[in-house]
A and B are shown apart, each in its own frame.
Chain A
Amino acid sequence: GAVVSQHPSRVICKSGTSVKIECRSLDFQATTMFWYRQFPKKSLMLMATSNEGSKATYEQGVEKDKFLINHASLTLSTLTVTSAHPEDSSFYICSAATTRADYGYTFGSGTRLTVV
């Protein structure tokens, strides 16, 4: 139980285009999801907290207009990287909070974004 599915696992896009990443909680409802970014050999950096039915809360320094987050249902949150540039290339990971005490915060498998 407590499975989070993230799609796609890898994506390559051209500069200037937009890319959407989906994060789904498969067997539980997640009113809150989190989006992280991870650079090579670095830790996870929280980008934003996504709440179902309301606006996301972004961390300081994260551009709201570049990283659009939509949490339209209790099982789906999406991150759209708009007008992507090579510096947006990174590993993006979502997490969903569950009340299952033995699972803590469950993470998706991540999306490797490469902007060329």
Chain B
Amino acid sequence: GESVGLHLPTLSVQEGDNSIINCAYSNSASDYFIWYKQESGKGPQFIIDIRSNMDKRQGQRVTVLLNKTVKHLSLQIAATQPGDSAVYFCAETFSGGYQKVTFGTGTKLQVIP
């Protein structure tokens, strides 16, 4: 079936460095992608989203890149901080109505002080 997956299950980054979390999606029909951050025992927190008509979107310290040719997403976090330690999920869905969201497997980001 269609799925969204991540290349790295765990990522360790030195505080202050940039983090890059990757995601591969398999449903070429998906046109809306979202990155979420989940801290232990909490629900996912929206970070940034991107629609398929864009290849890059920037937020505060975060950037999402979308490569539709190879069906790849990445989340870049600049100047990673200890508070960024969490599990990050990419998710895909369809625009045009409230469609169900399919989550990837998740990447645990560990920030080393």
Contact = CB atoms under 8 A, between A and B. Distances in A.
B98 A31 contact: yes
Interface in B56-113: 89, 93, 98, 100-106
B103 A109 contact: no
A104 B49 contact: yes
Interface residues of A, number: 27
Contacts of B18: none
Interface string A32-51: 10101000001111100100
Interface string B28-50: 00000010100001111110010
A104 B46 contact: yes
Question: Which range holds the interface residue count of chain B?
Answer: 10 to 19
A110 B36 CA distance: 14
Given A43-B105, A44-B103, A108 B98 contact: no
A109 B42 contact: yes
**What secondary structure prevails in chain A residues at the interface with B?**
strand
B43 A108 contact: yes
A103 B36 CA distance: 11
A43 B92 CA distance: 13
A43 B46 contact: no
Contact of A107 (B45, B98, B102, B105): B45
Given A105-B34, A110-B43, A43 B103 contact: yes
Interface of A: 4, 6, 31-32, 34, 36, 42-46, 49, 91, 93, 95, 97, 101-110, 112
Given A43-B106, A46-B101, A110-B41, 12 more contacts: A6-B43, A43-B89, A43-B103, A43-B105, A44-B44, A45-B103, A101-B49, A106-B46, A107-B36, A107-B43, A109-B43, A112-B41
5 contacts: A46-B101, A103-B46, A104-B34, A105-B101, A107-B36
